[in-house]
Structure 1
Amino acid sequence: MAKQKTGYFCTECGGQTSKWAGQCPHCNEWNCLQEGMVDTSGPSKYSSWAGESTPAIDLNLVEGEDVARSPSGVDELDRVLGGGIVRGAVILIGGDPGIGKSTLLLQALASISRHDMALYASGEESQQQIKLRADRMGVGDCQIKLVAETQIERVLQQVEQYKPRVAVLDSIQTMFSSKYESAPGSVTQVRECTAELTRYAKSRGTTFFLVGHVTKEGNLAGPRVLEHIVDTVLYFEGEPGSSYRMLRAIKNRFGAVNELGVFAMTETGLSGVSNPSSMFLTQHDVPVSGCSVCSSLEGNRPFMVEVQALVEDTTSPSPRRYASGFDLNRLQMLIAVLNKHAPTQSFEQNVYLKVVGGVRLTEPASDLAALLSVHSSFRNRPLPTGLVLAGEVGLAGEIRAIPDVETRLREAAKLGFKLAIVPAANKLAKPVPGIDVRHVARLDKALDLVSELG
């Protein structure tokens, strides 16, 4: 066998270079080049997604068609995917070990196998181990084809033989191609195996779910080009020890990327949570300082999230800032805005911020709730009971407009909230029944209103 040529591949962009360097010449990232084997073989038999090359055609001559979707049998998964599974899609799902990736996909395959062919290929578990897990979940009698294999060519042979509508590969880091001498999980193997599966999916119409490992930093393991090749990237989130899981789409070619699915881990697997606001709110016997409720919006679903802050004096010359479920740099910026535009000088205090329930708040509408929680803890004065907050805070102290205010307020009123503070730019044409809405234009006015109502 001829010796394969060695090259270096960027884990961020997938670029190739013949020599090692500290910086990738393609994307300029540092310390991201890894050694691998260069492919010198001919093209795959699935090298064309459509089977044969086709000539170019004018865009206005292409006949458009709606993307057909089929249900997975798991409502929360369908929500995140944009309504269901698209034929020929390649979906990558990542998350921490033991968070429920394999459990979720086994549940989905069990439902799909009732009316379509489904295949589960595992490079980490034997067929007996998968059967034990299926029995524990109560789906051990379903007609899923099980394959315990790590070579991608043999997996595709099984897929070609049974022609499943949906196939799961658990995990992509354990798969390898016999055309390359590098070890499973290397940059070359992960990239080429994913590309081979994608070519097959586009030419045959099979939908693939790929389970991806994560690094200790929480990023998907392997080259960054892996996320560019696939159609959809899903990520499982959840706090250690908590029974709740959040499934978030960070890339989706067939739907929105801001949808959030909420699950609860039970003895029989993952069950969808229809009212996620109930898991993010804490019932306090007495009013507590440093606690506020934010009206967050993930896709088309509004839910209420409790934000807690703790401000304490410190003798250290460098006060500590800590955030859980909230971006730390964003918290530091908001504290600077609070010190500048409000009578709150927290330069010599430690500030801790936590989002209850393990959810991560990323939208700017949570700025106001975070700031008022910090201010409440600093003053040691609870916020008014039944108050919900939503608003983006600018560096000049202004409260900026946010989308879908009426949707947020209707959900808050349904949960029993009686008072809401929203940006002045979001004045509604008609009031929302059951909730008193106050509009503010600046941060200092919001603080004065809270003091007046409290």
Structure 2
Amino acid sequence: MAKKKTKFMCQNCGYESPKWMGRCPGCGEWNQMVEEVEIIGKGRKGSLSPSDEGRSKAEPINAIQTENEPRVETKLKEFNRVLGGGVIPGSLVLIGGDPGIGKSTLLLQVSSQLADTDKKVLYISGEESVKQTKLRAERLNVSSPSLYIYAETNLELIHQTISDLSPDFVVVDSIQTVYHPEITSAPGSVSQVRECTAELMKIAKTKGIAIFIVGHVTKEGAIAGPRLLEHMVDTVLYFEGERHHTYRILRAVKNRFGSTNEIGIFEMKEFGLDEVENPSEIFLEERSKGSSGSTVVASMEGTRPVLVEIQALISPTSYGNPRRMATGIDHNRVSLLMAVLEKRVGLLLQNQDAYLKVAGGVKLDEPAIDLAIAVSIASSFRDHPTRPADCIIGEVGLTGEVRRVSRIEQRVQEAAKLGFTRVLVPDKNIGGWKVPEGIELIGVATVEEALRQAFN
């Protein structure tokens, strides 16, 4: 007979302890330790022993034969781009996002398109009934006979259904609702999420089935469950966007089969998600020309350059300590660049409130946007607009120098495609590549020099 053992597990990071603690030693969070019952016994399903038949053997690396399996492409080119060119058979993909952002809509559309390629797709819904899923499918005009809907949360029954149906693709919506019957903790707990994901990973690798799993996110925006969850899967995608805006961004933060930090842009419409093939044009279409505090930068998102507008508003503070607020940019980077402007250029910003925003809801985290942020701050502070046809690219150092950036040719070509005529770049990036027609390239070595050129 199996013995029962009680343990306490942190619901935030998965730290285990034999006794309850108010604060988790692993992640430092308070009141996250929950009591769980662990069953210890030889008869537990899934336990492995050296005598198990069918186990793999160690082989010399030069004796292993590899086959390049073709990727399965969907009709959504943006989705294919984020995955690295298409869906890899036998891969495990985790998709996270805020409630109501459109994760289920995206995966139902993708399931329908995969089913149209003569592939068998199993859509497992743990949050909705079969009829509710059918109503969403009718709204999205999804009616493929190769798409099967299954409403279940018991992992053993899900495993049996996959074995009976033998699908090519499986969608699990969501992993927090699935439970293993041999684990006593509630669905969505650290133990359940970890064990269920491990079982799905085993199914994907042994049967060659591509599995998509939906993950809930916490209030901080991270995928709920143990951090181990993101390490187990092959690809981690985040579906981002504002509920009050129609545009959605699918971002890859981990991808074993392609580039990380790749993004795909979608627009939420009445009949589902529609891809945006030229995101730079979308992000700049509402830009007001001739306004101070506005600059355009070419940022690399994965393998694609995207032109976005950075807006700054500098105003005298009415508080003892000036406010620093940023949306889409790291708050610490804004404070650092304001200190550089005050020390190296002589702008008195210590008594000014600063509000910065990346238009369109995009999040930028690469260093090549530094110079555009600095020019936006100076433009708003001096109330002097920059040229509407200027694009500004460069990394700023603490001594006020402008440092070289990568892939400068792709960035400038994207600016030329959108009609920009002048690009400010680091002087170290000039030379060795062909400048597009109609582009005036200006190299700058310091922030002060960049401000002189921008306000000419």
TM-score (norm 2): 0.93
* Post-superposition offset of 1:8: 2.6
What amino acid is the match of 1:355? V
For structure 2, list consecutive stretches of 5 or more residues without a partner in the other structure. none
Secondary structure in 2 matching 1:129: helix
Distance in 2, matches of 1:319 and 1:142, equals 61
What amino acid is the match of 1:432? P
Q: Look up the match of 2:396.
A: 393
Q: Is residue 11–residue 189 contact of structure 2 (8 Å, CA) maintained in 1?
A: no
* Post-superposition offset of 1:34: 3.9
Q: Is residue 11–residue 225 contact of structure 1 (8 Å, CA) maintained in 2?
A: no
Q: Is residue 119–residue 146 contact of structure 2 (8 Å, CA) maintained in 1?
A: no
Q: Look up the match of 1:333.
A: 336
TM-superposition CA deviations, 1:51-94 (whole Å, max 9, x none) = 83223233344334435311133211111011111111111100
TM-superposition CA deviations, 1:257-313 (whole Å, max 9, x none) = 121101011111111100001121144565000000011111221121001000011
> Which of residues 362, 366, 372 is equivalent to 2:375?
372
User: What do you get for the CA RMSD once the two structures are aligned?
Assistant: 2.1
Q: Look up the match of 1:161.
A: 164
Q: Look up the match of 1:94.
A: 96
Question: In terms of mean alpha carbon deviation, does 242-251 or 138-147 score higher?
Answer: 138-147
What are the equivalent positions in structure 2 for 1:288-367 lying under 5 Å apart? 288-367=291-370
What amino acid is the match of 1:450? A
What are the equivalent positions in structure 2 for 1:214-233 lying under 5 Å apart? 214-233=217-236
Distance in 2, matches of 1:341 and 1:3, equals 69
> Which of residues 138, 143, 150 is equivalent to 2:153?
150
Q: Is residue 46–residue 196 contact of structure 1 (8 Å, CA) maintained in 2?
A: no
Identical pairs, percent: 47
Q: Look up the match of 1:448.
A: 452
Q: Is residue 167–residue 207 contact of structure 1 (8 Å, CA) maintained in 2?
A: yes
What amino acid is the match of 1:202? K
> Which of residues 403, 409, 414 is equivalent to 2:412?
409
Q: Look up the match of 1:103.
A: 105
Secondary structure in 2 matching 1:222: coil
Check if 1:18 corresponds to 2:18.
Answer: yes
* Post-superposition offset of 1:125: 0.5
Change (3 A) 1:346 1:191: same
* Post-superposition offset of 1:21: 3.8
What are the equivalent positions in structure 2 for 1:182-331 lying under 5 Å apart? 182-284=185-287, 286-331=289-334
Q: Look up the match of 1:180.
A: 183
Q: Is residue 76–residue 262 contact of structure 1 (8 Å, CA) maintained in 2?
A: yes
What amino acid is the match of 1:313? P
Check if 1:5 corresponds to 2:8.
Answer: no
* Post-superposition offset of 1:420: 0.4
Secondary structure in 1 matching 2:399: coil
* Post-superposition offset of 1:44: 4.1
Check if 1:437 corresponds to 2:455.
Answer: no
TM-superposition CA deviations, 1:35-60 (whole Å, max 9, x none) = 33335255645969x98322323334
Q: Is residue 120–residue 147 contact of structure 2 (8 Å, CA) maintained in 1?
A: yes
Distance in 2, matches of 1:134 and 1:141, equals 10
Change (3 A) 1:67 1:412: same
Q: Is residue 289–residue 382 contact of structure 1 (8 Å, CA) maintained in 2?
A: yes
* Post-superposition offset of 1:314: 1.2
Check if 1:35 corresponds to 2:35.
Answer: yes
> Which of residues 65, 71, 89 is equivalent to 1:63?
65
Change (3 A) 1:46 1:249: farther
Q: Look up the match of 1:424.
A: 427
* Post-superposition offset of 1:11: 4.6
Distance in 2, matches of 1:57 and 1:22, equals 48
What amino acid is the match of 1:272? E
Distance in 2, matches of 1:231 and 1:91, equals 6
Distance in 1, matches of 2:374 and 2:422, equals 18
Secondary structure in 2 matching 1:416: coil
> Which of residues 103, 113, 130 is equivalent to 1:127?
130
Q: Is residue 422–residue 437 contact of structure 1 (8 Å, CA) maintained in 2?
A: yes
* Post-superposition offset of 1:240: 2.5
TM-superposition CA deviations, 1:184-239 (whole Å, max 9, x none) = 11111111111111111111111110011111111111111111111111001112
Q: Is residue 171–residue 212 contact of structure 1 (8 Å, CA) maintained in 2?
A: yes
> Which of residues 107, 113, 124 is equivalent to 2:115?
113
Change (3 A) 1:315 1:40: same
Q: Is residue 119–residue 147 contact of structure 1 (8 Å, CA) maintained in 2?
A: yes
Distance in 2, matches of 1:255 and 1:47, equals 33
For structure 1, list consecutive stretches of 5 or more residues without a partner in the other structure. none
Distance in 1, matches of 2:303 and 2:406, equals 11
Secondary structure in 2 matching 1:4: strand
Distance in 1, matches of 2:28 and 2:332, equals 22
Change (3 A) 1:52 1:394: farther
Question: In terms of mean alpha carbon deviation, does 1-10 or 124-133 score higher?
Answer: 1-10
